[in-house]
Amino acid sequence: MIEFKGVHKTYDNGVKALKDVNIMIEKGEFVFIVGASGAGKSTFLKLMMREEVPSAGEVIVNNYKLSKLKRREIPYLRRTMGIVFQDFRLINNMTVFDNVAFAMRVTGSSYRNIRKRVPYILGLVGLQNKARSFPAELSGGEQQRVGLARALVNNPSLIIADEPTGNIDPELSFEIVELLTEINRRGTTILMVTHERDLVRMFHHRVIEIRDGCVVSDVAARKRTDKAAFHEAGAVDATGIFPSAKQGGEI
């Protein structure tokens, strides 16, 4: 699904952002990408989204060889992935419904399809009652769930979450990662960039650490989510935010 083969990235100003990165992420995995600021995490994501091209090596995402991808093919690559941003990137003068529908509209979905799909996705992220609210009326955690709904609405096989908990309270961070974990259980590959080590420790997913542009560790996933550790740390239970998803079925 995602493969980095001997990837180097040096920017025009001489900064070496990535050095000989070799990573293989299979379909259906949940991977945390961790590292300090300036470690190369953003470059890693930009290469995957084809915002940048590697100086050397090959990046393959969802069967697209990105170095050979033509400019006009980039939108079609991006339709196979959903992106969740740290700053939510919601349009303030649009309702929750319209923010989510926006992602479908700009990829040419019909009104009929949008009317059917958006309420379903809002239900998945526990925001079915907030469809008519505006982003300013929501909490940080809710805003990020709208961002997640928007990333999910076009049914991508890969979700890239760029520090999705960076702008929300610690207790709500758990909600978001649990939501992502639930989405992952249904087969969507999740790649989450974060520098919150406590959060990473609570969820036993695969962890790739980047330091100074190099992959310094790659720890495989463990079997259980240690929610108890999080509660011991004083966070709230996030039960109930994913009611429809808990009943099973595809996203």
**Residues at the site binding other proteins, with contacts judged by CB under 8 A:** 42, 45-46, 49, 51, 72, 75-79, 82-83, 85, 87, 89, 91, 102-103, 105-111, 150, 154, 162
CA angle 54, 57, 62 (to 5 degrees): 80
In whole angstroms, the minimum distance from the beta carbon of 218 to other proteins comes to: 24
Instruction: Report the amino acid identity of residue 45.
Output: L
- The pair of structure tokens assigned to 13 is 């100003």
In whole angstroms, the minimum distance from the beta carbon of 180 to other proteins comes to: 17
Which residues have CB under 8 Å from 111's CB, separation 6+? Answer: none
Q: Which residue lies nearer to other proteins by CB, 42 or 167?
A: 42
In whole angstroms, the minimum distance from the beta carbon of 197 to other proteins comes to: 23
Q: Which residue lies nearer to other proteins by CB, 8 or 79?
A: 79
Say how far apart CA 214 and CA 136 lie, in whole Å: 39
In whole angstroms, the minimum distance from the beta carbon of 223 to other proteins comes to: 33
Axis crossing angle, helix 170-185 with helix 140-152, rounded to the nearest 10:
20
Q: Which residue lies nearer to other proteins by CB, 110 or 239?
A: 110
Q: Which residue lies nearer to other proteins by CB, 10 or 109?
A: 109
Q: Which residue lies nearer to other proteins by CB, 48 or 241?
A: 48
Asked if 163 and 68 touch (Cβ cutoff 8 Å), the reply is: no
Residue that has been written with the tokens 């091209």 in this structure: 53
In whole angstroms, the minimum distance from the beta carbon of 174 to other proteins comes to: 25
Say how far apart CA 123 and CA 243 lie, in whole Å: 8
Q: Which residue lies nearer to other proteins by CB, 69 or 233?
A: 69
Say how far apart CA 2 and CA 229 lie, in whole Å: 31
Q: 15-33 burial string, b = 16+ CB within 10 Å, else e?
A: eebbbebebebeeebbbbb
Say how far apart CA 251 and CA 245 lie, in whole Å: 8
Backbone angles phi, psi at 222, to 5 degrees: -100, 175
In whole angstroms, the minimum distance from the beta carbon of 30 to other proteins comes to: 21
